[in-house]
Chain A
């Protein structure tokens, strides 16, 4: 019973890998053989057993090692976790959401006992057993957002809703695909998305904001986003770009299979009950090309998507330098056969 947590690294020797079961459950983001931005938001309802959508908040075999990597990032750069003063209540909302979801979905690993405001939280994989008073910051070793997100995979953006907009007023961001919380904190929805090419002109953000402003409590939504990362590195922050950027020059036809990773973000959107804020968990899943092509369908499809991607999008996602090498490698896994509809690996 329960998850077997891997001991692995996302830096230095990069020992991260997916088990065969986790390859099969990878949230492959392409439902057809091409890609363009779209408002691909759908209700966050339970998916098939064993999939990353089985539970509202997914915990997987990488949990313990990802939390160790987060602690390393925060020790190096405390600015990755920030909360403007009016966001503490939303932090408590988030703590409640994550604790109740984890305890309900994974009772063998997490338990939460509540007696009024007196809460008892046990996180067995991380060896945490804490009693605290809900709403009293002094009874936790960190603020509520930081406390619970040091125990939760993925980045978290806490948004305030006012003036018909959403404001990025708190967050913890250590596994991001190249955006800076420290720079973007305090911005509204349009401002923090300002650098994304093409999507503004297509009206994507106007429609997405309208949807998000109306997310109801108990009815979360989700979407997938993707990029690619060289080496299974979680911390691809702009802060450290000068440290990880050179990785992009190291891709050769011989090492594509284990160096190039598809990086998928499962973004979900939740209304918070006390603060009326929203939380966006941005959960990152990595899969190496060697692992991905164990599905013939995924191999064919990814080849076609990367080959036909508009240049602006390829540049924004940072693929330009190794794209040709990657396409050449993937082409050997694409026999031109048709692919079945849908995301699954067949």
Chain B
């Protein structure tokens, strides 16, 4: 679990089987393990009404096989979160009332899938989340508005404008990103060393 932080920072829980006929799982990397752990507690036939969207990233390939072995109604394996987003938005836009949403894996994955679900009108409190794996952050540069993915260091160089950013704990669900603010704006000659902070 991430350490106690400020109020805008999302709080994650543990996936648990919810009542209902239709379930949408979105996971990346070690998020698969959260689904598998939950499956052990799920009633028989639970996955017959489930769709699983999975982005393995650099996780053990056997995880994808074990997810498939749950025999979900639909299983999609994608190469990246960005590649999976169009079909995820489509799925959410055409979802029927009562769809249960489960998000598991990195904060970046949970945040972006949450953002798509919110845009589709699903209330954030009705979405289950479980953080697994890397603490790498999605960071929006407050200056140029570009988003840098998979940030593990503090500070980090903005992938778009090149400013050296301090990664705040301040988080926007709408943007699905933490806020990055120039760390040496007052004196650009001060260049603090980047240290691994979000692993």
Contact = CB atoms under 8 A, between A and B. Distances in A.
B187 A246 contact: yes
Interface residues of B, number: 23
B6 A242 contact: no
Interface in B8-59: 8-9
Interface string A175-196: 0000010111111001111110
Given A183-B170, A187-B172, A195-B168, A239 B143 contact: yes
B182 A242 contact: yes
B135 to A, nearest CB: 19
Contacts, number: 66
A194 B170 contact: yes
Contact of B172 (A79, A183, A195, A242): A183
Nearest to B6: A194
Nearest to B185: A245
B143 A241 contact: yes
Contacts of A240: 143
A321 B145 contact: no
Given A183-B140, A186-B173, A246 B7 contact: no
A249 to B, nearest CB: 6
A295 B172 CA distance: 43
B140 A200 contact: no
Question: Which of B142, B175, B186 has the most chain A CB atoms inside 10 A of its CB?
Answer: B186
Nearest to A178: B181
Interface in A126-159: none
A195 B6 contact: yes
| Dominant SS among interface residues on chain B | loop
Contact of B187 (A182, A200, A249): A249
A307 interface: no
A249 B173 CA distance: 35
A245 B190 CA distance: 13
Counting chain A residues whose Cβ lies within 8 A of the other chain, the interface size class is: 20 to 34
Contacts of A79: 145
Contacts of A239: 142-143
Given A190-B7, A246-B187, A248-B186, A180 B179 contact: yes
Interface string A5-18: 00000000000000
Interface string A210-245: 000000000000000000000000000011111001
Nearest to B123: A163
B81 interface: no
Contacts of A183: 140, 142, 170, 172, 175, 179
10 contacts: A187-B173, A187-B174, A190-B7, A194-B6, A200-B7, A238-B142, A238-B181, A242-B188, A245-B182, A321-B186
Interface of B: 6-9, 140, 142-143, 145, 163, 168-170, 172-175, 179, 181-182, 185-188
